[in-house]
Amino acid sequence: MPPPQQGPCGHHLLLLLALLLPSLPPTRAPVPPGPAASLLQALGLRDEPQGAPRLRPVPPVMWRLFRRRDPQETRSGSRRTSPGVTLQPCHVEELGVAGNIVRHIPDRGAPTRASEPASAAGHCPEWTVVFDLSAVEPAERPSRARLELRFAAAAAAAPEGGWELSVAQAGQGAGADPGPVLLRQLVPALGPPVRAELLGAAWARNASWPRSLRLALALRPRAPAACARLAEASLLLVTLDPRLCHPLARPRRDAEPVLGGGPGGACRARRLYVSFREVGWHRWVIAPRGFLANYCQGQCALPVALSGSGGPPALNHAVLRALMHAAAPGAADLPCCVPARLSPISVLFFDNSDNVVLRQYEDMVVDECGCR
């Protein structure tokens, strides 16, 4: 049946509605993320750091933490952990705090800091340090915020009584007076780095993260002496993201996955190496250069489903399905070869703010496969 004919009024009405109503954007089906985007999501990054990071040395503490936390360092013999010791998940043993993200944040106020005046009438200059915390997500819980300072003393010998470090909240504008003093600390000597814990002093443990942390520092000798110069300032920030924290897993087995081959054979872990250079991330990923992700492949027919292929025993349901498939192939499908145990990796990288970040990622490596 042909559609009813519209008169001139109907055409004018449709034209008027088309001009008055806002045009809707065309609906598009959501595009699934590609392999690189999926890996970024697995690493907890919103987007890939753009451009090459500013070249600067990786702090030794970050190297030590990486070598201690990275499970794959165990196989090369460079991991400094006693045999038989299992590292706790979501815990930084070297610092003695809970956490799975460690950031080394440099001072952003150094390039704009005015030249330090000479000591006049015993008054030493103050410094304003600025730390960019915009990359810290609201879900992260702080467990350590350690201020690390390096000073250059004008005299070789320390003054009698040492120095006194004071940390206050810096004013927002140029020339603004600093806020109340957050902490005072005695510094016996300026040779080793000076460390001060800010958590609980600069902000409360349960407070929301500031986008930027501005501090006013002063270092005064307790006896008449020449003033020191601030050479470097940084913040070592440890946080715990509960979304990335998993229960304690069993120690990794020493058996290596077999090289990937055809689909035949028993269900087991097959070797798969992921290279960060191949995905174009070698410019901002410091270490490792890649990792063994591995994958599961193989048959789960009898008697493999009964034995578990040398790994964990198969679930009773998988054994039942294998028995039913052997008795009546059309009644039930065979169990699937899937990961039965996974382990974490550690990645040391530069973020978009040129901070050196160490993150622990759970369930990134397939250690054992089983029939499920």
Quickly state the pLDDT bin for 12 (edges 50, 70, 90): very low
pTM: 0.73
Task: Name the β-bridge partners of 186.
Answer: 164
Query: Pick the residue with more confidence: 72 or 283?
Result: 283
**Which has more confidence, 341 or 84?**
341
Written as six digits, the tokens of 125 are 């200059």
Give pLDDT, residue 125.
85
Provide the percentage of residues in the chain whose pLDDT is more than 70: 60
28-43 average pLDDT score: 59
The answer to whether residue 23 scores a pLDDT higher than 70 is: no
Alpha carbon distance 113, 269 (integer Å): 55
Q: Which of 114-128, 150-164, 214-228, 314-328 has the lowest mean pLDDT?
A: 314-328
Residue 77 has pLDDT above 90, yes or no: no
Per-residue pLDDT, averaged over 69-73, amounts to 61
Greater model confidence, 260 or 138: 138
Q: Which of 102-116, 125-139, 311-325 has the weakest average pLDDT?
A: 311-325
pLDDT value at 356 more than 90:
yes
CATH numbers and ranges of domains, the chain:
90-112+125-243 (2.60.120)
Burial class (CB in 10 A: 0-12, 13-18, 19+), 209: middle
Residue 241: is its pLDDT beyond 80? yes
Does the pLDDT value for residue 99 go beyond 60? Answer: yes
pLDDT above 80 for 265 = no
Q: What is the pLDDT of residue 148?
A: 96
Mean pLDDT highest for which of 99-108, 239-248, 315-324?
99-108
Structure confidence at residue 281 (pLDDT): 83
Q: Which of 53-57, 310-314, 348-352 has the lowest mean pLDDT?
A: 310-314
Q: How confident is the model at residue 119 (pLDDT cuts 50, 70, 90)?
A: low
Mean pLDDT of the chain: 74
Of the ranges 5-14, 97-106, 134-143, 279-288, the best mean pLDDT one: 97-106
Q: How far is CA 329 from CA 43, 322, 323, in A?
A: 41, 9, 9
Average pLDDT over residues 353-367: 88
DSSP β-bridge partners for residue 104:
236, 356
Q: What pLDDT is stored for residue 247 in this prediction?
A: 60
